[in-house]
Chains A and B, each alone.
Chain A
Amino acid sequence: MKEKKITRRSLMGAAAGVAAFTIVPRHVLGGAGQTPPSEKINIAGVGIGGQGGADLRELSSQNIVALCDVDWAHAGGTFRRWPDARKYKDFREMLDKEDKNIDGVVVGTPDHLHAIVSMAAIKRNKHVYCEKPLTHTVREARMLADTAREHKVATQMGNQGQATEEVRLLCETIWDGAIGQVREVHVWTDRPLHGTNEWYWPQGVDRPKGEDPIPESLNWDLWIGPAPMRPYKANPDNPRVGVYSPFVWRGWWDFGTGALGDIGCHSLDPVFRALKLGHPISVEACCTLVNNETYPVASRVTYEFPARGDLAPVTLHWYDGGMKPPRPAELEDGRRWDTNGALYIGDKGKMLGGRLIPEARQKEYGKPPQKLERSPGHYMEWVIACKGGKPAGSNFPDHAGLLAQVVLLGNVAIRPELKAEKYLGTKLLWDGKEFKFTNVPEANKYLTKEYREGWAI
């Protein structure tokens, strides 16, 4: 495999000089490398036991050359699928050793590692596919977007819904004026609960006391990465898994980004596209009791966006934990009022998700004039971009960086310190250009975080 690759690269170089540089990655010569459309790209995966593994399967038309996970047992399924890929526990070591063999990196770690891994890859001029939310902090999202732009690498965030026909129809319908100017949007999810029956992951809980033996397969120090060190704890109800990992890290401030971070980058994405949103001018949030360990059980976040050209100012309401906006009168009796959704309120009508309500109005309206190119698929968009084609729909510099920043601003607004009595009813005023809250300076420290010694972005 390695040999074949070198051959390909030698051919690609098509210059005498190339032979002298076979040990130096080509992107050092000329920015991010481009793989011809006929060739496969060489991909490494970091954090492959969960969604990262699913992402790699979607990219299995390409060469999966290296796999990295801090828990080889958790990653076992993915390892077995690509037995020839070289295995690592530490992504830094992998990037050092595989530098010249890798074109792109797929990042499917917990949120607190996204930016660290992605940034290291981008700085080596690797293309990056990173799971949503793009980062753990607002500042990281901005840095990744800027650095990806500088290094001219192909990027894509893992909000795969952006590639769908539905999102395009939604945008085109709104741009066609089907519901007039949109001034109000409501988006909601039942996470962190899954319906009324079970938790996807706990929120609103405190840190467990004590310490349990770290599973043999897990490198806890690497899993903790840039976060403050804490002891490993097994889940008392199911000792085979931890209270922080796998998956349930989402509820903890140190590792995840809560319900908003998890789902916001999916469900706010179409709002950003359809309404051409930029930075908000304010963020106002309320939530159930919140502590410094986990996100609250439920929250409501309201963003205000200014006018954009001809487009009216927009108020965007986010709800999680099972709360919903008022059911619109236009929704027919008996019609499902889902536990996850988006409602667009325009001067001349309403849309629930991508459809006008009531359904009779959608039928009468039919289809909007096509204005947007259709997608070859979310993953293929990235592959094409890696090969020098059109930038992917959720690339960091043009889209995902902004979307992730705005989503994570909501999490700043529900920080326990900012929910104390003295801040009740506070609306944080945001200056996106200057990257700061202008009325509550003490909120600005939550735009970033401290990294554990030995870790930096």
Chain B
Amino acid sequence: MAEQRKTVSRRELLRGTAGAVAAFTIVPGHVLAGAAGQRPSEKLNLAAIGVGGMGDYNISQCGSENFVALCDVDDEYAGKVFNKFPSAKKYKDFRVMLDKEDKNIDAVIIATPDHTHAVAAMACMKRGKHVYCQKPLAHSIYEVRKLTEAARQYKVQTQMGNQGHSSEEIRLLCEWIADGAIGPVREVHTWSDRPVGGDPWSDFPIMARPKETPPVPATLDWDLWLGPVQYRPYHPIYCPMQWRGWWDFGTGALGDMGCHIIDPAFWALKLGAPTRVEATTTHYQPEVASETYPRASIVRYEFPSRGDMPSVKLTWLDGRLMPPRPRDLEPARRLEGNGAIFLGDKGTIMHGSHGAGGLRIVPEEKMKAYKRPEKTIPRVPRGQAGHEQDWVRACKDGKPASSTFDYGGPLTEAVLLGVLAMRMKDTPLEWDPVNLKVTNIDEANKYVKPLFREGWTL
């Protein structure tokens, strides 16, 4: 309580109109002042939901601000982070946290598993909180659309956690493409070595739903971990690490890495919504295929022409499948385990996994000869390492961050349409992005908006 009072008094000072504030102490500051209520010199009061994994990193990148509340469904898994912030209040249920801390929180970092991104982010935005949400923005296309709309409606500052979007290279890519460095681009290949990238986060299970029902660890609130997903018994194969491989919780290699690796093409080529998508995957038994993502997949997108840019065929490959070696690549050079290749009418560009890292025109001779255009796109201080701070800045000065939901939403929709296509393996899907509808195969539409468990809504 002392903490809370202190906050209020800080705000009173900040606003400089003690009388007006007194009447509004139960209303958060940003409701009064739109989404840009803070002065840059002031610290934000932050909360975080899902702090045990990637949240730890995002939180540490916001160390300049005040963390007033932390929420995780497993306080043992979150313990390391909890201990770093002894004065922050700790919660298991983000709904309780938002109720109790509403007036103390300016903004929230969300780094839960994919299946709870949307319910958490929506609850925050409805209360006028700024939101930093890990990628992919949500678990289903419908959720993504709703979050994108809500961010506009509630006028909050948002940032999706595709930190590469704040990089220098992704800006260079956009400038070079706009400059016509490789001419019009009609074909893009993107790929990731996940789900077997070699670290525990990317070692996805490929299996049927486990039958054994081990006891839920005392520190974990399993019901809250499940959130809006239909109930199933606890098993350590889902959490804390391996949920990415399960249809109900994660979004597979494409959902995991697509928001990083497709991001540069999405921005530089202004791709927007695909109109057609077709996926093929490795075969696996129906009881396995209905639960977990495939060992490898190839997703083929078609994006229509945009202005004077021609239509684009974009291919995604995962599970260590690789694109064809580009003809322009010198014999001594190899490809990376994650990356993208742009095939233009007049040349080739390659880059690596995050934020177009390692961006090069190939061959190197052409890169060296290239007269780089003027830098016109605003830079983010410290590039991708400054992604969280870019959002902090946005929360304070009201100018949008680099990967707002207005950008990250459509990017995630495109990514998740590819995920959906895997469930309709080897079937070309015609996509109506306005109405969020597969127009040629109605059966596919059940994956656009999965059913929420009772008690959970957006």
Contacts and interface: CB of A to CB of B under 8 A. Distances in A.
B319 A197 contact: no
A327 B329 contact: no
Majority SS at the chain A contact face: loop
B232 interface: no
Given A197-B286, A423-B334, A323 B322 contact: no
A319 B319 CA distance: 14
A390 B229 CA distance: 68
A195 B283 contact: yes
B278 interface: yes
Interface in A301-359: 302, 319, 321-327, 337, 339
B426 A422 contact: no
A286 B295 contact: no
Majority SS at the chain B contact face: loop
Contacts of B284: 193, 196, 322
B320 interface: yes
Nearest to A289: B196
A288 B282 contact: yes
B283 A322 contact: yes
Nearest to A331: B428
A421 interface: yes
A425 interface: yes
A322 B319 CA distance: 14
Interface residues of A, number: 35
A383 to B, nearest CB: 39
B331 interface: yes
A321 B196 contact: no
Nearest to A328: B428
Contact of B334 (A195, A196, A327, A425): A425
Contact of A425 (B196, B319, B335): B335
A319 B298 CA distance: 11
Interface string B368-392: 0000000000000000000000000
Interface string B408-447: 0000000000000000001110000000000000000000
Contacts of B317: 286
Interface in B193-218: 196
B324 to A, nearest CB: 6
A353 B52 CA distance: 53
A300 interface: yes
Contact of A297 (B285, B286, B295, B323): B295
Nearest to A339: B283
Interface in A407-433: 419, 421-427
B187 interface: no
B289 A300 contact: no
B324 A302 contact: yes
Nearest to A285: B322
Given A288-B296, A427-B325, A439 B334 contact: no
22 contacts: A193-B283, A193-B284, A196-B289, A197-B285, A286-B317, A288-B295, A288-B296, A288-B319, A288-B321, A289-B319, A289-B320, A297-B295, A297-B296, A298-B321, A321-B282, A321-B283, A321-B295, A322-B280, A322-B284, A323-B298, A421-B337, A427-B325
Interface of A: 190, 193, 195-198, 204, 284, 286-289, 297-298, 300, 302, 319, 321-327, 337, 339, 419, 421-427, 439
